[in-house]
Structure 1
Amino acid sequence: MMKFSTLTLCAGLMVASYGLHAQLANPQASQKNQWDLKFTNGIAAQVEDKIITLEELRKEVTPLIPQIRMNSRTRFEFDKNIAIVTREILQNLVDRILIIRDFYDKGAHIPDTYLQKEYDDYITKEFNGDRSAFLDFLRIQGKSEMDFRDQLKDDIIVSYMRMQSLPSQTAVSPKKIEEYYQKNKSRYFEEEGVDLSMIMLVPIAGENPDLLQQTANEIIQKLEAGEDFAELAKTYSQDDQRDEGGDWGWINRADLIPQLADQAFALDKGGYSQPIQVEDYIYILKVKDKREAGIKELEKVRGDIEQEITAQLARQAQQRWIERLRKNAYIKYFLKEAGGMRSSPGTMQMKLGANGADS
């Protein structure tokens, strides 16, 4: 079933707007703010008869400011990141218009009953059905209910059309899986590891250390008598995995402190250790399974490879579809940060100036 979705960006492009420049730049340096108020009515791009304004673009970029604080270490890096994200967002806005136009060109429509259901479901999911809270949220966003409904409809259309562009699900041939595996073997390297369970004993403040050792010895005696390690972990262990029977899953050597790693990787499959004292704590380890370092066998990754090939085919199909929409549309980019983005044949790319014209 189609669900409400919002515009998303690649994680690597999650960087933000010019608002951070002042924090990254030399205090003595001066540079024109590209989001200056006099440009808020400027044009970033034209798609057929639709206009994308600088204000629309600014609203998309501004919320990403906190991320750029973490991702930009220098002024140069910031400038590079802001150019990347601006192009990415602008292209998404252009593509969104093209996708919606393609939907209507095909004579499609969204039933009012379906739109109303999605509208009600959104309020239920995000606001626990509290309509007053939802309306307060819209007021803060500076939107009306009609604005929200229009956005919701567009989101549904974009989601639906992207799904329609996907190729039909067909089985990936064993030959393609084998070829992919051979070309990408390095991706399936795994380090030496152990499937580890652990009992950790923590001293109580003021408790005689000998009592903790006695508890450890009691656990060892029960293990030697054949009692289940997982049940003993649930009873005695004092770590986060106690309720899971002390199960920590597959662990690489580097994941453990040296005192524990040496003991764990020296154990045979199914074996358990004697009590290991590390400062004030005592550990008892069990190795349920072991693996050597190396490339995973094809059969172990066949399912993952099939999913990856299917995802690649889907991305390629969507890209061909989007490229076709762009090719057949009139698109003009005005924003200089879109310098690498091509306008439609016969249109002219312009730099940003007052109201979108050359300065």
Structure 2
Amino acid sequence: MNTRTIRHSLLLLAIPLLTHAQSPNPTQTIPIDGYAAKVNTTIITRSDVRSAMAPILPQLYRRYQGAQLEQQLENTYQQTREQLIEQALIYAAFEARGGQIPDHYVQSEIDRTVRDRFQGDRAKFEETLAAEKITYQEYLEKTRRNISTSMLMNEEINRRARINPETIRNTYETNRHQYLIPEKIKHSVLLLHHGDTPQERQLKQATANRILQRLQAGEDFNTLATEYSEGARADQGGSFPWLQLKDIDPALRAPLSQLTVGQHSPIIENESRFLILKVDARRNAAYQPFSEVREAIKKELTAAERDRLYTRWIERLKKEHYIQRYD
């Protein structure tokens, strides 16, 4: 199970889904109702799965159509059913431990939902429950289950996913190539097109020669580029932003690599244009310091450890409890 799946599961656990009015109805790929799965004595209906799918449906309907949409709906249904099965397994484990959530804690969570998702409008909240055909008591119990499963996941997964400093450092040293910042340069280009006739080319050659002489006399490159260049960035004085060499016109890489900062090139001619180049600034290739990437490495390793713990835990729960899926 990857991190994205766990995050989706956590979303299912963290907040009851109240999205009836915002989501399109799936096509007949997914039957209207009936059993989707059974975990011990807990029934998961197709309506439960459809409700849990609701947040992603608008995106699916925007991106797909026809047979492709049907397949995406079916895939999402199967994935969502598995998430609900996992949620039921976790709740069963919570009950087996004798866990209980006090009523005032559940009520506080509902109050937070009303405040955050309905701007404190209790009537709007109750209207949404009615649209979902959910009684307040059913919603309260669903919230209690979600809190229970979320708390147990935190205990089983998040608190145990600890990465020691040595592992973080070793990961950095082993994968140091991933933290290489490539060489970058800022450069400017003054470009003159040959024109369509030999006479035009001769005139442009003469103009390029005069510009080069003015540069050699100390005039500002960008000012001259603004005045004379026929390139796309003439309005910016011919200046380009920071770029890696691989992102620069292949014909310019070699001459640019030979220039020092502040130096301009001689006239460079190719099949259709005259060019004068200048290197404005250069950043040599360097590795990101460990101090700058330590937290990112820790976050990545912690996520991988959570994945591992979650997968192992769910596989154990699947062996300990009865599961039946219905097609």
**Short-chain TM bin:** 0.5 to 0.7
1:34 paired to 2:29: yes
Partner of 1:314: 306
Aligned equivalents of 1:187, 1:82: Cα separation in 2:
37
Partner of 1:61: 53
Q: 1:62 to 1:305 in 2, by over 3 A?
A: closer
1:152 paired to 2:143: yes
Q: 1:131 to 1:41 in 2, by over 3 A?
A: closer
1:82 Cα shift? Answer: 3.0
Aligned equivalents of 1:163, 1:189: Cα separation in 2:
35
* DSSP-derived class of the 2:14 partner: coil
Q: 1:55 to 1:168 in 2, by over 3 A?
A: closer
Aligned equivalents of 1:314, 1:73: Cα separation in 2:
35
Query: In the alignment, which of 75, 79, 84 is matched to residue 75 of structure 2?
Result: 84
1:146 Cα shift? Answer: 1.2
Aligned equivalents of 1:179, 1:56: Cα separation in 2:
45
1:92 Cα shift? Answer: 0.7
1:88 Cα shift? Answer: 1.2
Partner of 1:161: 152
- The structure 1 segments of at least 4 consecutive aligned residues displaced by more than 6 Å after TM superposition are 266-269
Q: Do the aligned partners of 2:161 and 2:306 also contact (CA within 8 Å) in 1?
A: no
Q: TM-score, normalised by structure 2?
A: 0.58
Paired residues for 1:1-359 under 5 Å: 5-6=14-15, 18-19=26-27, 33-35=28-30, 39-72=31-64, 75=67, 77-166=68-157, 167-168=159-160, 170=162, 172-174=164-166, 176-185=167-176, 187-192=178-183, 252-253=242-243, 291-293=283-285, 295-335=287-327
Aligned equivalents of 1:119, 1:18: Cα separation in 2:
28
* DSSP-derived class of the 1:124 partner: helix
| Cα deviation digits, residues 145-181 of structure 1 (max 9, x gap) | 112211211111121011011244645142x224423
Q: TM-score, normalised by structure 1?
A: 0.53
* DSSP-derived class of the 1:138 partner: helix
Q: 1:177 to 1:74 in 2, by over 3 A?
A: farther
1:118 Cα shift? Answer: 1.7
Aligned equivalents of 2:92, 2:79: Cα separation in 1:
20
Unaligned 5+ segments in structure 2 are 1-9, 18-23, 187-240, 249-258, 263-279
Q: Do the aligned partners of 2:50 and 2:77 also contact (CA within 8 Å) in 1?
A: no
Q: CA RMSD in A?
A: 3.9
Q: Do the aligned partners of 1:99 and 1:158 also contact (CA within 8 Å) in 2?
A: yes
1:194 Cα shift? Answer: 8.3
* DSSP-derived class of the 1:52 partner: strand
Aligned equivalents of 1:148, 1:93: Cα separation in 2:
16
Partner of 1:223: none
